[in-house]
Amino acid sequence: MMAPMRRAILAANWKMNMTLAVGRAFVEELLARPLPAGVEVVLCPPHTLLHSLGKQLKGTSLKLGAQNMYFEESGAFTGEISPLMLQDAGVDYVILGHSERRALFQEDDGLVGKKVAAAMARGLGPIFCVGETLKEREGGETLAVVERQLSGGLAAVPREQAGELVIAYEPVWAIGSGRAATGEDAREVAAFIRRFYRDQFGREAEAGLRVQYGGSVKGANIREFTGYPEIDGALVGGASLKAGSWYEILQAVGQQVSAP
Ligand code: PEP
């Protein structure tokens, strides 16, 4: 059973997909169905949809997330978007340090750390991603890699701001591959993340930390992960692009959290 104290959180990472019309139709379709109680649901569309979806989601239980941001508030940073701008669009969460940002756009732990701290200082909830490549897993380096990413990503977070953070464990080899991690492997890393956070920020802060698993999650396998008390939800790419497959995931977790 999922730990009753922390609220489950499911986040949809639409990546570079969806036009405004398609995104708005998705939201309409989702809102026409009963959304599960006890599960926080976050939609992370591309930046161009944020303002419009922010208005559409107002007054609903759905939350809005962005997929990236820069750490400065404003200035000569062509092509970037700031924490202030995300807040202005009604954003609650922001995905930071996704492996695609790290691999394709050379984001390192130092840069991710500045972004995490800037988001928290602005009151945006980071969904801070960590995870190893296949080579690193096969080399037995998984926990060392995750530890390095956690150290860098959380280095600039002041102790008094810790808590209320979401960390997504996303093994790179499981993302978009159809090959999810086993529940037990994900649990081991989630437990490691929790220990790291407790050691760095204390037991009280750890109570506010939620850990997601991400990597080829769908309705048929989500409960293998959320069945562990260390795992509070998932960050989902491919299966979040259609309202139907996304809803299957919401329902599966909704039934799990409401089971006696
Ligand atoms: C992701 O991109 O964060 C992700 C988990 O993708 P997928 O669900 O498609 O593996």
pLDDT in tens, 40-84: 999 999 999 999 999 999 999 999 999 999 999 999 999 999 999
Residue nearest to atom 8 of ligand 1 (CA): 237
Nearest to residue 6, comparing CAs of 40, 35, 34?
Answer: 40
The best mutation among 93, 173, 236 to test binding of ligand 1, ranked by most ligand atoms within 8 Å of the C-beta, falls on 236
Which is the closest atom of ligand 1 to the Cα of 15? Answer: 2
The best mutation among 42, 173, 175 to test binding of ligand 1, ranked by most ligand atoms within 8 Å of the C-beta, falls on 175
DSSP line for 246-257: HHHHHHHHHHHH
What integer pLDDT is reported at residue 5 of this predicted model? 53
Report CA(68)–ligand 1 centroid distance (Å).
15
Q: Could you tell me the CA-to-CA distances from 46 to 14, 28, 218, 234 in Å, in that order?
A: 7, 17, 21, 19
Report CA(13)–ligand 1 centroid distance (Å).
7
Q: How far is 109 from 124, CA to CA, in rounded Å?
A: 19
Nearest to residue 126, comparing CAs of 135, 115, 136, 137?
Answer: 115
CATH superfamily assigned to domain 8-258: Aldolase class I (3.20.20.70)
Residue given tokens 């990472």 in the structure block: 13
Whether the pLDDT of residue 4 is over 70: the answer is: no
Identify the DSSP state of 32.
Answer: T
For the segment 169-207, what is each residue's pLDDT rounded down to a tens digit? 999 999 999 999 999 999 999 999 999 999 999 999 999
Nearest to residue 60, comparing CAs of 24, 113, 86, 88?
Answer: 24
Taking a C-beta distance cutoff of 8 angstroms, is the pair 197, 158 a contact? no
Longest dimension (CA), the chain: 54
pTM of the full predicted structure?
0.96
